[in-house]
Amino acid sequence: MRLTSAVSPLALALSLAACAATQAPPAATASTQAPAARIIPTQLPTNVRPLQYAISVAPDAENLRFAGSVLIDVEVKEATREITLNAADLQLTRAGLSPIAGGAAVEASRISLDEEKQTATMAFPSEIAPGRYRLAIDYTGKIYTQAAGLFALDYETAQGKKRALFTQFEAPDARRFFPGWDEPQFRTPYNLSVTVPADRDVIGNMPQAGVQMHPNGTKTVAFQATPPMSSYLLFLGVGEFDRITKTAAGTEVGVVSVRGSGEKGRWALEGASQILPWYGQQPVLRSDGELGRDLLVRVDPPRRSRDHHRGDPPAHLRSRGARDGAPMVRRSRHHGLVGRSLAERGFRLLDGD
């Protein structure tokens, strides 16, 4: 029913558009020829925009707290004495600004938090001229027990209770993990590093760039920079994991599970590896007017059948060609992140059955 109601307005819109096309358009004037300005809604000031992030965090899973620091390359488009960004349930302990081209850093003279608007504003002692700067912020945050921001998930094993940490940022909860421009139109690269006990496994959007061991029994894992993307797509997982992999269409696909359960993800790995090559096969017109490569995915309404109870994949999940008249959904390819998104951003723990 939900799919049918979504298609009907689209069919109506297409019908109206076809009718309108039969009418003679009005003569073009100078005012109608000028393109309309594109206005993107935002709750943040538009005088400063982010260019890239380098985020470092050290979770304290036992006490449900974490310490963090972030370096944000920003462009100041208009002179200002304040920079406002998103932050929720974070305590900002320091903020400084330095020109990327070189020069002395300036410390923020005041940091104010607005809990209702979920923003932090850093005021500086003198006016900041237009240009590119590096904003450095030290902060602390909360590890939640529900799926928001960085959260803890406890589960039972033969060795006793274990705790893993994951992030859930969609839609507006990246601001609970780092201060930044937490709105989807701000697409930037992210560099993420995390310091954890040496026996923990760490996963993210990208492959690991390096691991540094420390004498105190911890390690710092750094990931490769992501492509430009929205803040809600950033992902981090920390725990005791198994990871099985397979290469498909030149991309490493991985399925992550609790330690000791890796082979239980084999069917999911094989399925994802078969689906992934379909991405990029269909040329479509993107909103920017250029040809992109999208995947057309058949959508059947879920239904239970006998084979569902025999352990086979449900009928609506099997790979098969689209029939005439079948509803189609277009899934956009996301700058090469598709494989890791399928394999690791949306994984679920396989806990025994």
pLDDT tens digits for range 172-228:
999 999 999 999 999 999 999 999 999 999 999 999 999 999 999 999 999 999 999
**Residue 84 falls within a domain, yes or no?**
yes
195, 212, 239 - which closes a domain: 239
239, 271, 293 - which closes a domain: 239
Q: What is the pLDDT of residue 147?
A: 94
Preceding peptide of 129 cis, ω within 30°: no
239, 272, 301 - which closes a domain: 239
**Residue 1 falls within a domain, yes or no?**
no
**Residue 300 falls within a domain, yes or no?**
yes
Q: What is the pLDDT of residue 283?
A: 54
To the nearest whole number, what is the mean pLDDT of the chain? 77
Q: What is the pLDDT of residue 42?
A: 83
- Torsion over CA: 77, 81, 84, 89 (sign): positive
- The verdict on 260 and 296 lying in the same domain is yes
- The verdict on 137 and 202 lying in the same domain is yes
- The verdict on 75 and 183 lying in the same domain is yes
**Residue 80 falls within a domain, yes or no?**
yes
Mean pLDDT of the 26-47 span: 59
Backbone phi and psi for residue 185, each to the nearest 5 degrees, phi listed first: -75, -15
Q: What is the pLDDT of residue 39?
A: 62
**Residue 27 falls within a domain, yes or no?**
no
- The verdict on 257 and 115 lying in the same domain is no
- The verdict on 179 and 270 lying in the same domain is no
Among 169, 159, 311, residue whose Cα is nearest residue 233? 169
CATH of the domain at 179: 2.60.40.1730
- The verdict on 84 and 213 lying in the same domain is yes
Rounded CA separation 334/225 (Å): 15
- The verdict on 152 and 193 lying in the same domain is yes
Mean pLDDT of the 45-50 span: 96
pLDDT above 70 as % of the chain? 68
Q: If pLDDT is split at 50, 70 and 90, which confidence band does 64 have?
A: very high
Structure token digits, residue 199: 């026996």
**Residue 174 falls within a domain, yes or no?**
yes
Q: If pLDDT is split at 50, 70 and 90, which confidence band does 107 have?
A: very high
Q: If pLDDT is split at 50, 70 and 90, which confidence band does 352 have?
A: very low
Range of 268's domain?
247-345
Q: If pLDDT is split at 50, 70 and 90, which confidence band does 1 have?
A: very low
pLDDT at 130 > cutoff 50: yes
Mean pLDDT of the 314-322 span: 38
**Residue 8 falls within a domain, yes or no?**
no
- The verdict on 76 and 103 lying in the same domain is yes
- The verdict on 200 and 262 lying in the same domain is no
Rounded CA separation 66/196 (Å): 11
pLDDT at 240 > cutoff 90: yes
- The verdict on 324 and 191 lying in the same domain is no
- The verdict on 316 and 268 lying in the same domain is yes
Domains of the chain: total: 2
Among 150, 191, 192, 124, residue whose Cα is nearest residue 61? 150
- The verdict on 251 and 231 lying in the same domain is no
**Residue 129 falls within a domain, yes or no?**
yes
Q: Each residue of 248-307: pLDDT tens digit?
A: 888 888 889 888 888 899 999 999 898 888 875 655 444 454 544 443 333 334 444 444
